[in-house]
Amino acid sequence: MDTGKRVYIITGTPGVGKTTVSMVLAELLGASHVNLSELASNENFITGYDEPRDTSIADMEKLKKEVTGIIDSFQGSLIIEGHYSHDIIPPKSVTMAFVLRRAPWELEIELKKRGYSPEKVKENVEAELIGVCLSETIENMDSGKVCEVDSTGKDVEEVVGELVAIIEGRKPCSFGYIDWLNRSEAEAFLR
């Protein structure tokens, strides 16, 4: 029986466009939007601060319980975004898990513009280079629900258009086609 409930998660390394894409997609679909970082902060689900990474540490158990409650009581479409959404959302609740990817050499520029520390830039760029969010999402979700989308060089409308095409079945939901390490730019980038 189809309840009409649709839960789409959007994950990826910081700087790939999750928040902006999620908000535009939610508006387009008439869906509700949950930003996990904002939820953790607003509900005081913060256990401390990681100085070297310059980031708050979310209480994952409290956040998971809260999000599960939101999903259970919700009808309609719900967009949940955050770079750890694939660790928080129960896999059985997920309709599709979108992993946004962005070329590390572009990502580095974005994170520097945001004022990230050199260590934080390096950690996030390396995570994108080897596909940490993708591999964790595949590990935690039914792989048939994992959709990898490249946001490199695209504006928000283009990325949202791809997500909508996947949701509507006009484009396949797939992963494994992005390999930054085999790109010519990666060789120069890694030096």
Amino acid at 174: S
Go through the domains of the chain in sequence order and give each one's CATH number: 6-190 (3.40.50.300)
> What is the rounded CA–CA span in Å between residue 92 and residue 107?
31
H helix intervals, 97-155: 104-113, 118-130, 132-140
Does residue 166 register a pLDDT over 90?
Answer: yes
Does residue 189 register a pLDDT over 70?
Answer: no
- The closest alpha carbon to 9, from 45, 36, 42, 39, belongs to 36
Does residue 10 register a pLDDT over 70?
Answer: yes
Query: Where does the pLDDT of residue 3 fall: very low under 50, low under 70, confident under 90, or very high at 90 and above?
Result: low
pTM for the model stands at 0.93
**Spatial CB neighbours of 173, under 8 Å, sequence gap ≥ 6:** 96, 144, 145, 146, 147, 166
Does residue 16 register a pLDDT over 90?
Answer: yes
CB 80 within 8 A of CB 8: yes
